[in-house]
Structures are given as structure tokens and as C-alpha cells.
């Protein structure tokens, strides 16, 4: 499955390179037509990237593909906008996430993928200058409503960060902290159960069962990230948000975490931001492509990587720019 | 204008070969090395001068003060006459306490020096023994009533002038009129020395007694306890308030002009002269709130106000140093703001907070000016039992003794300074150790 996708991508790249000249000429025509309306500076730069930007800013934010799907929906986002001060960082995002599905969010650096991810568990609340508008529903409940306590929301929507950040406490305490503050265990026995089962599900138990009292920071990078995942699933959330979880890890650790994701999928809905298109192709069922704050295309992963609907998506997945 | 447009004669700055560049760098190298060496030597010089002054300071103080840790005692054969202690045979401890123990000492001295007959000479002889010796005898009888009727050789403290003479601080060659020790006293001292009845013993009184007019009866226990109570009050008030304020300002306060104003004020307060805090203490705590004057409670309150800005400033930078990734991890798990701060941020910021607190306390320990204003500069003999009793503090005690005329107080002042410096060194050493031990724990 993975191999065929990889080969398809390289095929696609070869094809596109051959068509390049023809496409450039047609694009040039549209560019000339729009030049009066465009910004002079971007026009001066020229090049494919500038052309893409100009083309994008002219079209309205209609996402290609199927951003909104039917079925058992876990999270639904409706016209979400995020402003950092004056900067309109995320524009009119509408999409939804099916239950027990892995959705990959891809796009070039600074396009708003992490911002979008952080919207879903209201972590942007901690940033003073950030302003989030729009409707985000978790199991049908508006997460920004007054009845929704952010503390409860974050217990239902867990997050794994890019750089592993275990607490400077023992491994046991790291995993036990969440259940403890939410009162998920009535006594030490139950807490032990939760901790050990979380470590087992995270695939870490064999490596740490002899040193549960060692500090969490004494583990290797990959182990730390799995510890963070164990910590997140110990609270039994409904959705797990992963912000480039493997970017700081070596390939073997990455492979372990990707295997872990397949198992976690049975119980959780997962949204993963990734820079690696191969990873997106490997683990996800649906993929969303972001570009400079807009949601360009959302579709089944197969389709995105073999036959993308939008020009920008195509450019990105074929490596034209990234 | 491009590079080619400039007129080129030989190798220009831009076209130099590496070999040419190397020659230029080598030529300037000697000058640069000399400058480096000069800079190093200035640094060394600064350090050496600083250490030299410190050395001189310590050497002077230690030189003056170590002799205060021993006190000359005289061994007297004291017979605890029942006729003097309990003439009516009441066996009442209260009667024993009020007996004329001075007479016992007089008798004992007469025994040792039978030739001394004249009244004036006898008085001079008696003055060689400390004025507090009778009280020592009374304490002994109260502790062990079986002494009554016995004759025991007892070591009693000598008068401070005898002590000074014995330590060699009074010059024999000075004419008698200008000496505090009389010629006949010198003769007797020599006699006692020959008989082995004069000995320098460890000065326990220095550590067990309160202040006194007589140097040989004076001790710093009162001052130490006063300082201790004061620091206790200071830390109990300043530490929780300072930590709470630092947490609020760093984590929960909105960023607006009022908070900025508050920050500026706190930073300024750290630099306000300490005597102004004393005036504040006088007007608010003593006049307005009617707290007991000269009490360590008031001193502690004033010093707490002084230490608060230091703790807040140190606390804020300690809290700021906690990496945001820890906070994000905690928040991401569903911890509330307060839980994040108390479970994660505070434990990591605690070493910095403690260091700031200890340094603030070390400064408070040595402050005298505010205490002068609130009345802790009085002559207080009793050792305080609670923070509400009148007391004095170590630096104030040093000041009072430095003012006293008796020669023996010179060495005691230096000894008190040694004790104060010892505590300061211990506190600062503790702060350094804590800092090193808990840094970079994650």
C-alpha cells in the first residue's frame, strides 16, 4: 500500500515536469489579465511561487474535494478564522473529522496547520494576541460556549507536541498526573491499572516497567514521545491532536509511533500535522492541504497523492515547493 | 559603481591574496595579544585588591575578636557558710536566693590574701572579682542545696579590667594614674598566677547571657534570639506574600498600564533606603497599630516589607525561566491554570525563589537603620521568650557595644561581628549550594 503510493507520487512528478511548459504559458495569460488588480511587489518577484500566490488570492476560499463528510462525526469545524493581532492567520476553515479516523494536515511552513490544530482544544486561548472566531463542535457541542469548560475540553481532546515534553517527574507520575487531577482513579490500585495499561497501549511498558521511578527526562527521544502519548491516552480522550510528533525523532522511533497510531485509531480520532508527505500517506485516511491560512483541499489520502484536485495541492505533493 | 570601476593599483583591499592577508593579520597580532594581557592583568588586579581588602577586614576582626571567646577566671575557695546563706535555718530556697553571697567571696579573698587589712585595699581586692560572681554562687546553691556548709574551690569570673590585663591588653609600663588596674592589683594578679589560680576559660557567658553593663557578664544570646525571632517573622510574612505576588504578576495579571506601573514601583522599592522602612514601621506599626515597641514582631514586619520586593523580583525571574513546554503539556492534559502553576511551574521555580529569599534574609539580618527607628536599640537585658517581648538584634548589639567605653567591649564587639559574619556566610553559602544543586534539573 505504502510502496504503491510512493511510486505513484514519483510517477506523477515525472508527468508534471513534462507538462510544465504548456501549463506555464496558460498561467502567464491569466496572470497578465489579473495584473492590474494584483500587488505590484508580488508581480515583480515572478516565478512559480508568486504565480501560485496571486492565483490563490484571487479565488474565493472554496475548498476542493470533500472537507465535510457524512458518517459518525467526532469534530466539526465551521468557518473558523484565527487572527494574531492584525494578521489573519487562518481563513474560513470548514471541515469535519469522522470518528476513529486519522486525518493528516499537510502544507508548507507557516500555513496555519498547527494553529488549526490548537484551535480544536482551545490552546490558542493561552496566546494573548490570538482571536478565534467560528464554530467548532465536539460531539455536537460548541467548544467556545460558556457551558464548555476548557479544562474539560482538554481532557476530552488530548495533544501531543512536536518536541517531547515529559514533566520533570518520575515516569509513573508523568502518566498518573492526568488521571489524578481529573479524579479518574479512586485508589492507588486503580491508578496503577490506568498507568500500566496506558504505558502498554503506548508500547512503552516493556522498556520502563523496571524503572517507573526514574525521571521522565532520562528516556531517549522516542521513548519520551511515547511517554507523552501514554500520558495523553491515560486521560481517555475522544480526540488526539498530534503536532508533528515525529519531527524530532529518528526513523526507527518514527516507525514505532506510526505503528502505535494504527492501534490507537481503534479507540480515538486522530488529527496529525506532519511535514512528511510519506508519513501522511502511510498513516492517514483523509488528508487536508493548507496553504497560507486557507484550506485548499480535503480528500481521501489516496486521491490527494495520486490525483489532487487543486493546482496548489498538486504543486505541493509533487515537490514543486514545500 | 561596480568593483571594476574603482582604480586598481596593485592588490586592492578586495583582491588580496590569502598570503597577503595573513601577513597583515600577523603584524597586528602582537598588539592584540598585548591588549589581551593588559586586560587580563586589570582583571586580576581588581580581584586581588578586592580580596586584599577582604583579607585585611577579616584579619583585623579576628585579631580583635578571638580573645573575647575566653574569659579569665579565678579559683576561689568558697565556703558556703550556713550562717550567711540561711542564718535562721529556714531551708527556704527564697531565703537562699537573697543571701549575701558577696560576703562569701569577701571571706574567700581574705583567706587567700591574709595580709590585706585596710578597708580601701580590701575594696580594691574585692573589685578584682566580677560583680556578677555572687549571682553565680546563688545559682549554684539553688541547683545543689547540699553545697551549704561545704567548702569548694570554685572558678569565678574576674572583673573585666583584670581580664584585659591578663590577656595583655593593658600596658604595665603606663603610670598608675592612667591605668585601670592598680599596682597592688597587679601584684595580686601575679600572685594568683603563680598559685595557678588564674586561668582563661572558654567564655560560655558570651553565648548564654543577655546584654549587661559589665562586660564579663555580657552575652549575645539576647541579641541572637531577637534576630532569630525577627527573621522568623520576616520569612513567615515575606515569603508567602512574595511568592504569591510573583505568581500573580507573572501568570495571571493582565498586560496593561496599571500592571506596568506596579512593576516599576516594585523595582523601585527594592532600592529604597532601609531607614525609610523604619520610619514607616514607626508610624504604622507602632503609632497606628499600637504594637509593642522594641519587639521582634515589629522589627520582623519592617524587614518583611524590605525583603518583599527582593523576593518578588527573584521569584518573577525564576518563574519566567520555567520553559513554556512544561506549561503547555500540563494545560494540554486538562490542568487548570492554577493547577499548572502549583503542580509544575512552582516546583521548578522553587530553587530560584529560595535563593532569592535567602539572599533577602541575609540582607535583613544585617540591617540596623530600620531597627533604630522602631526602638530595638534599647538596653535590654532579658532574653526574649516570644516575638512580643522587647529585644535587640545582633547588628544593633554591635552598635551599642561599639559605643561603650569599657575596653573589654572592644573585643566583644569584634566577637559579635564574627558571629554575625558567620551567620551571613552560612546563609549565603546555603543559597549558593541550593542554586547549584537544583539548577538544570530537567
ipTM of this model? 0.77
Contact residues on chain B for A154, CB-CB shorter than 8 A = 331-334
CB proximity list for A15: less than 8 A, separation 6 or greater: none
- Residue A28 confidence (pLDDT) above 90: no
Total domains in the fold of chain B: 2
Same domain, yes or no, for B172 and B277? Answer: no
Q: Can you give the residue ranges of every domain in chain A?
A: 2-58, 100-122+148-312
> Which candidate, B325, B333, B336, places its Cα nearest to that of A155?
B333
Q: What is the pLDDT of residues B43-56, one digit of tens each?
A: 999 999 999 999 99
Helix axis angle for A171-182 and A188-201, nearest 10°, is 120
| CB pairs < 8 Å spanning A and B | 61
B334·A235 Cβ contact <8 A: yes
Residue B88 lies in a domain: yes
Residue B8 distance to chain A (closest CA, Å): 36
Residue B254 distance to chain A (closest CA, Å): 9
B330·A152 Cβ contact <8 A: no
- pLDDT at residue B50, as a whole number: 96
- Helix H or strand E encompassing A310: none
Same domain, yes or no, for B308 and B434? Answer: yes
Same domain, yes or no, for B195 and B231? Answer: no
In contact, B431 and B352? CB cutoff 8 Å: no
Residue B437 distance to chain A (closest CA, Å): 15
Q: What is the pLDDT of residues B57-78, one digit of tens each?
A: 999 999 989 989 999 999 988 8
Cell of A32: 497578465
Q: What is the CATH number of the domain that holds B313?
A: 1.10.3720.10
Q: What is the pLDDT of residues A64-76, one digit of tens each?
A: 888 888 888 899 9
Q: What is the pLDDT of residues A268-293, one digit of tens each?
A: 999 999 988 889 999 999 999 998 88
CA-to-CA separations, A114 to A15, A64, A273, A274, B323, in angstroms, rounded: 32, 21, 7, 9, 19
Same domain, yes or no, for B191 and B307? Answer: no
Tell me how far apart the alpha carbons of residues B79 and B151 are, in angstroms, rounded to a whole number.
4
> Which candidate, A282, A286, A178, places its Cα nearest to that of A230?
A178
Nearest to A123 among B331, B343, B344 (CB): B331
Question: Could you say which residues from 214 to 253 on chain A have a Cβ atom under 8 Å away from some Cβ of chain B?
Answer: 217, 228, 231-232, 235
Question: Which CATH number is A100-122+148-312 given?
Answer: 3.40.50.300
Q: What is the pLDDT of residues B278-331, one digit of tens each?
A: 999 999 998 899 888 888 999 999 999 999 999 999 999 999 999 999 999 999
Helix axis angle for A251-264 and A221-233, nearest 10°, is 10
Same domain, yes or no, for B240 and B155? Answer: no
Q: Percentage of chain B with pLDDT > 70?
A: 97
Tell me how far apart the alpha carbons of residues B212 and B157 are, in angstroms, rounded to a whole number.
14
Please say which residue of B147, B172, B203 terminates a domain. Answer: B203
Same domain, yes or no, for B92 and B195? Answer: yes
- Residue B4 confidence (pLDDT) above 70: no
Residue B321 distance to chain A (closest CA, Å): 14
Residue B256 lies in a domain: yes
B325·A158 Cβ contact <8 A: no
Q: Identify the domain containing residue B157 by its residue range.
A: 69-203
Same domain, yes or no, for B83 and B174? Answer: yes
Scored b (16 or more CB within 10 A) or e, B265-299 reads ebeebbeeebeebbebbbeebbeeeebeebbbbbb
Same domain, yes or no, for B127 and B245? Answer: no
Residue B356 distance to chain A (closest CA, Å): 22
Tell me what the pLDDT averaged over chain B comes to.
88
Radius of gyration of chain B (CA): 33
CB proximity list for B441: less than 8 A, separation 6 or greater: A168, B348, B351
Same domain, yes or no, for B172 and B227? Answer: no
Contact residues on chain B for A217, CB-CB shorter than 8 A = 442
In contact, A82 and A131? CB cutoff 8 Å: yes
Q: Which of A126, A214, A217, A233 to mutate to test the interface with B (most CBs of B within 10 A)?
A: A126
In contact, B395 and B369? CB cutoff 8 Å: no
Please say which residue of B150, B168, B203 terminates a domain. Answer: B203
Same domain, yes or no, for B419 and B324? Answer: yes
Contact residues on chain A for B341, CB-CB shorter than 8 A = none
CB proximity list for B312: less than 8 A, separation 6 or greater: B242, B245, B246, B249, B266
- pLDDT at residue A34, as a whole number: 53
Q: Which of B255, B333, B348 to mutate to test the interface with A (most CBs of A within 10 A)?
A: B333
Tell me how far apart the alpha carbons of residues B152 and A86 are, in angstroms, rounded to a whole number.
95
Q: Which of A122, A127, A157, A159 to mutate to test the interface with B (most CBs of B within 10 A)?
A: A159
Contact residues on chain B for A165, CB-CB shorter than 8 A = 323, 325-326, 328-329
Tell me how far apart the alpha carbons of residues B345 and B356 are, in angstroms, rounded to a whole number.
16
Tell me how far apart the alpha carbons of residues A284 and A161 are, in angstroms, rounded to a whole number.
18
Nearest to A161 among B329, B339, B441 (CB): B329
- Residue A23 confidence (pLDDT) above 80: no
CB proximity list for B375: less than 8 A, separation 6 or greater: B286, B293, B294, B298
Same domain, yes or no, for B259 and B149? Answer: no
| Confidence band, pLDDT 50/70/90 cuts, at residue A29 | low
Same domain, yes or no, for B226 and B346? Answer: yes
Nearest to B339 among A161, A181, A232 (CB): A181
- Residue B436 confidence (pLDDT) above 70: yes
Global pTM? Answer: 0.74
Give me the DSSP letters along A37-98. Answer: TS-HHHHHH-HHHHHHHHHHHHS--PPEE-SS--SSEEEEEEEEEEEETTEEEEEEEEEEEE
Q: Where are the alpha helices (DSSP H) in B209-289?
A: 221-247, 257-269, 274-280
Nearest to A128 among B255, B335, B339 (CB): B255
A167·B326 Cβ contact <8 A: yes
Amino acid at each position: 500500500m505504502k510502496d504503491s503510493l510512493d511510486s505513484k507520487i514519483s510517477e506523477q512528478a515525472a508527468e508534471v515536469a513534462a507538462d510544465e511548459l504548456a501549463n506555464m504559458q496558460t498561467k502567464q495569460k491569466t496572470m497578465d489579465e489579473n495584473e492590474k488588480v494584483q500587488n505590484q511587489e508580488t508581480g515583480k518577484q515572478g516565478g512559480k511561487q508568486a504565480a501560485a500566490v496571486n492565483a490563490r488570492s484571487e479565488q474565493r476560499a472554496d475548498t476542493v474535494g470533500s472537507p465535510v463528510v457524512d458518517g459518525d462525526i467526532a469534530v466539526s469545524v465551521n468557518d473558523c478564522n484565527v487572527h494574531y493581532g492584525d494578521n489573519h492567520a487562518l481563513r474560513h476553515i470548514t471541515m469535519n473529522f469522522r470518528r476513529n479516523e486519522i486525518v493528516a494536515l499537510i502544507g508548507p511552513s507557516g500555513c496555519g496547520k498547527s494553529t488549526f490544530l490548537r484551535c480544536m482544544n482551545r490552546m490558542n486561548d493561552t496566546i494573548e494576541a490570538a482571536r478565534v472566531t467560528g464554530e467548532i463542535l465536539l460531539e455536537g457541542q460548541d467548544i467556545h460556549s460558556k457551558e464548555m469548560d476548557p479544562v474539560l475540553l482538554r481532557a476530552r481532546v488530548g495533544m501531543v507536541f512536536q518536541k517531547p515534553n515529559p514533566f520533570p517527574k518520575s515516569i509513573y507520575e508523568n502518566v498518573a498526573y492526568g488521571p489524578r487531577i481529573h479524579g479518574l482513579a479512586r485508589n492507588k490500585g486503580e491508578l496503577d491499572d490506568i498507568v500500566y495499561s496506558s504505558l502498554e497501549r503506548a508500547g512503552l511498558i516493556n522498556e520502563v516497567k523496571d524503572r517507573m521511578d526514574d525521571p521522565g527526562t532520562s528516556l531517549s527521544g522516542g521513548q519520551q514521545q511515547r511517554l507523552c502519548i501514554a500520558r495523553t491516552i491515560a486521560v481517555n480522550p475522544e480526540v488526539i491532536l498530534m503536532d508533528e510528533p515525529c519531527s524530532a525523532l529518528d526513523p526507527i522511533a518514527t516507525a514505532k509511533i506510526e505503528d502505535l497510531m494504527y492501534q490507537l485509531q481503534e479507540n480515538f480520532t486522530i488529527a496529525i500535522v506532519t511535514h512528511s508527505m510519506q508519513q501522511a500517506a502511510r498513516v492517514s485516511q483523509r488528508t487536508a492541504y493548507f496553504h497560507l491560512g486557507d484550506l485548499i483541499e480535503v480528500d481521501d489520502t489516496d486521491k490527494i497523492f495520486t490525483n489532487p484536485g487543486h493546482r496548489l495541492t498538486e504543486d505541493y505533493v509533487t515537490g514543486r515547493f514545500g | 559603481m561596480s568593483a571594476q570601476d574603482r582604480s586598481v593599483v596593485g592588490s586592492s583591499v578586495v583582491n588580496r591574496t590569502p598570503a597577503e592577508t595573513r601577513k597583515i593579520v600577523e603584524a597586528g597580532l602582537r598588539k592584540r595579544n598585548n591588549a589581551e594581557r593588559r586586560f587580563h592583568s586589570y582583571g586580576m588586579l581588581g580581584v586581588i585588591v578586592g580580596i586584599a581588602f577582604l583579607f585585611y577586614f577579616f584579619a583585623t576582626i579576628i585579631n580583635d575578636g578571638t580573645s573575647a571567646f575566653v574569659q579569665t577566671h579565678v579559683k576561689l575557695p568558697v565556703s558556703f557558710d550556713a550562717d550567711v546563706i540561711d542564718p535562721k535555718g529556714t531551708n527556704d530556697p527564697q531565703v537562699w536566693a537573697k543571701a549575701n553571697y558577696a560576703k562569701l567571696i569577701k571571706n574567700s579573698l581574705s583567706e587567700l590574701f591574709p595580709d590585706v587589712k585596710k578597708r580601701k585595699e580590701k575594696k580594691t581586692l574585692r573589685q578584682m572579682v566580677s560583680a556578677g560572681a555572687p549571682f553565680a554562687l546563688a545559682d549554684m546553691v539553688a541547683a545543689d542545696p547540699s553545697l551549704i556548709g561545704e567548702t569548694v574551690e570554685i572558678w569565678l569570673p574576674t572583673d573585666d579590667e583584670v581580664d584585659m590585663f591578663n590577656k595583655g591588653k593593658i600596658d604595665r609600663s603606663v603610670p598608675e594614674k592612667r591605668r585601670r588596674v592598680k599596682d597592688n592589683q597587679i601584684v595580686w594578679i601575679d600572685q594568683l598566677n603563680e598559685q595557678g589560680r588564674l586561668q582563661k576559660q572558654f567564655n560560655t557567658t558570651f553565648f548564654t547571657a543577655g546584654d549587661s553593663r559589665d562586660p564579663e557578664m555580657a552575652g549575645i544570646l539576647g541579641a541572637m534570639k531577637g534576630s532569630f525571632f525577627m527573621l522568623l517573622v520576616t520569612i513567615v510574612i515575606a515569603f508567602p506574600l512574595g511568592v504569591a505576588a510573583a505568581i500573580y504578576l507573572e501568570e495571571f495579571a493582565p498586560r496593561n498600564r496599571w500592571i506596568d506601573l506596579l512593576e516599576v514601583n516594585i523595582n523601585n522599592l527594592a532600592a529604597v533606603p532601609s531607614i525609610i522602612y523604619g520610619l514607616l514601621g514607626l508610624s504604622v506599626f507602632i503609632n497606628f497599630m499600637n504594637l509593642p515597641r522594641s519587639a521582634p514582631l515589629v522589627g520582623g514586619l519592617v524587614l518583611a516589607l524590605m525583603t518583599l520586593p527582593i523576593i518578588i523580583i527573584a521569584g518573577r525571574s525564576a518563574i519566567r525561566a520555567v520553559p513554556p513546554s512544561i506549561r503547555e503539556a500540563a494545560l494540554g492534559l486538562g490542568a487548570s491554570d492554577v493547577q499548572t502553576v502549583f503542580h509544575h511551574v512552582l516546583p521548578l521555580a522553587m530553587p530560584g525563589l529560595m535563593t532569592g529569599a535567602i539572599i533577602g534574609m541575609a540582607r535583613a539580618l544585617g540591617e540596623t537603620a530600620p531597627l533604630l527607628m522602631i526602638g530595638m536599640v534599647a538596653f535590654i537585658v532579658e532574653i526574649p521568650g516570644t516575638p512580643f517581648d522587647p529585644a535587640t538584634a545582633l547588628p544593633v548589639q554591635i552598635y551599642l557595644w561599639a559605643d561603650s567605653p569599657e575596653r573589654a567591649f572592644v573585643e566583644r564587639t569584634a566577637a559579635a561581628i564574627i558571629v554575625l559574619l558567620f551567620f551571613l556566610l552560612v546563609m549565603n553559602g546555603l543559597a549558593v549550594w541550593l542554586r547549584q544543586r537544583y539548577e538544570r534539573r530537567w
